[in-house]
Amino acid sequence: MSCILQVENLVKRFGSVQAVNGVSFSIERGTCFGLLGPNGAGKTTTVEMLEGILTPSAGTIRYKGAPTNADFRKEAGIMFQETALQEFIKVGETLELFSRFYAHTRSQEELIDRCALSDFLDRDVRKLSGGQRQRLLLAIALVNDPEIVFLDEPTTGLDPQARRNFWQLVNDIKQEQKTLVLTTHYMEEAYELCDEIAIMDHGCIIAQGSPRDLLKKHFDNSVILLPASDVPESLDQHELLKLHRMNGQVEILSEDVNATIELLMAQKIPLGHLQIRSRTLEDLFLELTGRGLRS
């Protein structure tokens, strides 16, 4: 696979605030690259510099080996975190409006079908639900049949079902070998969609790799969950258990789940409400920064 976008030492300052502090990465053609981090981490600023919306204070962005220029907009599809559309215009008219900005476009029928817009094609854009609106914005991002698609927190504010539906659309785009750049603060979304992620905090990349590799690299254990009331406090200092209490639950980090369960049974701990889960990107972020993704 070849590199389609290369970023080196990217910096963005707003007055005295340094929003992005020297980030570097490269994105392979046909992959989904995720920028993961909490609000204010610098994800949107980074992606808006890649899109050409913001001018970097320092650093270079190369698209297909050359510095990005005005023509980049013809080959890029962009879905902003927050986008207002012209009022009093219907869905189909909005799609037509954006189609006419480009010389090379995808067929509107195909876009309508792909993004499931046909049911509300004649509806005023102000009267769309959250999920319908995001599907329209995705269709607009795809209108020029882009080589690279930027999706900035595309599912924020959607209900779980609408989010799942949107993920399916993104997976369909991936099947077309498009390159995707996705920002999100939903670790589940990044895990589901991204081939590679960069975790950002305070304007810097603090970890980068495929979601599975990152989890494998940082964790070799699972989490056993029990109700706090079932676990006596005398066990908190047990030398073989890494245990901590939070929100009425006890989390036990275990490198050998069978051995830990045997130990708990030996202590006569009731296991009727026991849950076991693998480590997640949220755990990884907590591990790396000491804070939660949505804190």
Name the site residues for another protein (rule: CB under 8 A): 51-53, 70, 73-74, 76, 78, 80, 82-89, 93, 96-98, 100-102, 140
Task: Compare residues 180 and 226 and give the one whose CB is closer to another protein.
Answer: 180
Of 80, 73, 93, 195, the closest CA to residue 146 belongs to: 73
Cβ–Cβ < 8 Å for 49, 20: yes
Task: Compare residues 94 and 280 and give the one whose CB is closer to another protein.
Answer: 94
Identify the burial level of 103 via C-beta atoms within 10 angstroms of its C-beta, where 0-12 means exposed, 13-18 middle and 19 or more buried: exposed
Task: Compare residues 88 and 246 and give the one whose CB is closer to another protein.
Answer: 88
| Cα distance between residue 78 and residue 38, in whole Å | 21
Q: How far is the CB of 74 from another protein (least distance, A)?
A: 6
What are the residues whose beta carbons fall under 8 Å from the beta carbon of 172, sequence distance 6 or more? 114
Task: Compare residues 8 and 124 and give the one whose CB is closer to another protein.
Answer: 124
Give the torsion sign (CA, 160, 163, 165, 168). Answer: negative
Q: Find how far residue 65's CA is from the centre of its chain.
A: 25
Q: Find how far residue 30's CA is from the centre of its chain.
A: 17
Q: How far is the CB of 207 from another protein (least distance, A)?
A: 29
Cβ–Cβ < 8 Å for 181, 27: yes
Q: How far is the CB of 100 from another protein (least distance, A)?
A: 4
Cβ–Cβ < 8 Å for 68, 76: no
Task: Compare residues 87 and 109 and give the one whose CB is closer to another protein.
Answer: 87
Q: How far is the CB of 103 from another protein (least distance, A)?
A: 8
User: What are residue 204's phi and psi, to 5 degrees?
Assistant: -120, 155
Task: Compare residues 24 and 81 and give the one whose CB is closer to another protein.
Answer: 81
Q: How far is the CB of 215 from another protein (least distance, A)?
A: 34
What residues form DSSP beta bridges with 79?
A: 151
Q: How far is the CB of 196 from another protein (least distance, A)?
A: 24
- The amino acid sitting at 156 is T
Q: How far is the CB of 152 from another protein (least distance, A)?
A: 11
Task: Compare residues 87 and 233 and give the one whose CB is closer to another protein.
Answer: 87
